[in-house]
Amino acid sequence: MSRAALIAPSLLAADFTRIGDEIRKAEAGGADWLHLDVMDGHFVPNISFGIPVVEAARKSTKLFLDTHLMIEDPVHIAPAFAKAGCDLITFHVEALVPRAQRTKREKGWALDRELTAEAVAKGRETIDVIRAAGKKVGISLNPDTPAVALRELGGLVDLILVMTVWPGFGGQKMIEDVVPKVREIRDRFPAPWVEVDGGVAPGTIAKCAGAGANVFVAGTAVFREPDAAAAVNALRSAAK
C-alpha cells in the first residue's frame, strides 16, 4: 500500500442541511477519501446515519468512500453497505467478542487480551463477506484495546483503524497516549494502510504520521473551516 498521506474528512462533522454541497466542498478542497461514521446506538451510544446517506454520498462524489461501522454484529449488515456504494468497510475488533467478555470503560468497550478462536473465526467470516462483495476491508480498535488483539486478523485486512478518541462522539481531543500503539501496529503489520481517527488537526497529525499512520480522518478540522482546500493542505503539509 502507498504510504502517501491520505486525508479523509468525516462526514459526521458536515452541515447535514446541505450535505451534498458539503461533500462537494471536501472533494473540491482536495480530500482523498470521504469517511462515513455509521453508529447504531448499541456498540456506541449515539446513532448517526445509515444506508440512505451512504447512497446519497455515492451519488454526490467520486471520492473513495471509507465506511466505519461502529455497530454490533457487522457481518450481517456489511453487504448492504457494500451495495450502497462503499469502497472500504471497517468493523470493530471489539464487536467480535460477546459483551460479557469485553471490558466496559466509561466511554466504550475494550478488550484486554488476544481474541478467542471463536472471535477470530467471526472476524475471518466478516472479512470474507466484505471481500465477497468486492470491497476492501478494515478492522478498528478502541483506545484501550491493545495491538495484540489484532494478532490473527491484522495481516488479513487492507486497513487498520486506530481510534485516538472513544468512538461515538465528534469533536474530541486526541488521546495522545494511543500514538505509540500506532507505531506498534505499523511495525507488526507493514502492509495495510494505518488510519487514525479522533482529534486529528494540524497540531496533532505529525505525531501520528511519525508513528506510521498514513490515513487521517479529520472532521471539524475540515468541515468546520471556511476554506476546505486550505484546511486539507494544512493537514497534508503537517503530515509530511
CA distance 217 to 65: 12
pTM of the complete model: 0.96
pLDDT at 232: 96
Using CA atoms, how far residue 93 sits from 138, 145, 162, in Å, is 10, 9, 11
Please tell me the total count of domains within the chain.
1
**Is 197 designated active site?**
yes
pLDDT at 229: 95
Which domain does 52 fall in, by range? 6-239
pLDDT tens digits, 224-237 = 998 999 999 999 99
Fill in the amino acid letter for 90. T
CA distance 11 to 31: 12
Sequence-distant (≥ 6) Cβ neighbours of residue 137 within 8 angstroms: 88, 89, 90, 91, 126, 127, 130, 131, 156, 157, 158, 159
pLDDT at 2: 46
Whether 84 maps to a domain, the answer reads: yes
**Interhelix angle for 51-60 vs 19-28, to 10°?**
50
**Is 66 designated active site?**
no
Nearest-5° angle of CA 9, CA 11, CA 13?
A: 90
Whether 1 maps to a domain, the answer reads: no
Neighbours of 113 (CB within 10 A): 12
For residue 166, give the CATH number of its domain: 3.20.20.70
Whether 136 maps to a domain, the answer reads: yes
212 backbone φψ class: left, alpha, beta (φ>0; ψ -120 to 50): left
pLDDT at 1: 44
CA distance 75 to 129: 7
Which residue is catalytic, options 32, 40, 66, 197? Answer: 197
pLDDT at 170: 65
DSSP β-bridge partners for residue 4: none
Sole residue written with cell 486478523? 153
Whether 137 maps to a domain, the answer reads: yes
Which residue is catalytic, options 32, 37, 40, 66? Answer: 37
CA-CA-CA-CA torsion sign (161, 142, 157, 22): negative
Residues 112/142, Cβ–Cβ less than 8 Å:
no
Find the DSSP H helices in the chain. 19-28, 51-60, 74-84, 117-132, 179-188, 205-210, 220-223, 228-239
Per-residue pLDDT of the chain (240 residues; tens, 9 = 90+): 447 899 999 999 999 999 999 999 999 999 999 999 999 999 998 999 999 999 999 999 999 999 999 999 999 999 999 999 999 999 999 999 999 999 999 889 999 989 999 999 999 999 999 999 999 999 999 999 999 999 999 999 999 999 999 998 766 899 999 999 999 999 999 999 999 999 999 999 999 999 999 999 998 899 999 899 999 999 999 998
CA distance 96 to 108: 15
Whether 150 maps to a domain, the answer reads: yes
Sequence-distant (≥ 6) Cβ neighbours of residue 8 within 8 angstroms: 31, 32, 33, 34, 35, 66, 195, 215, 216, 217, 218
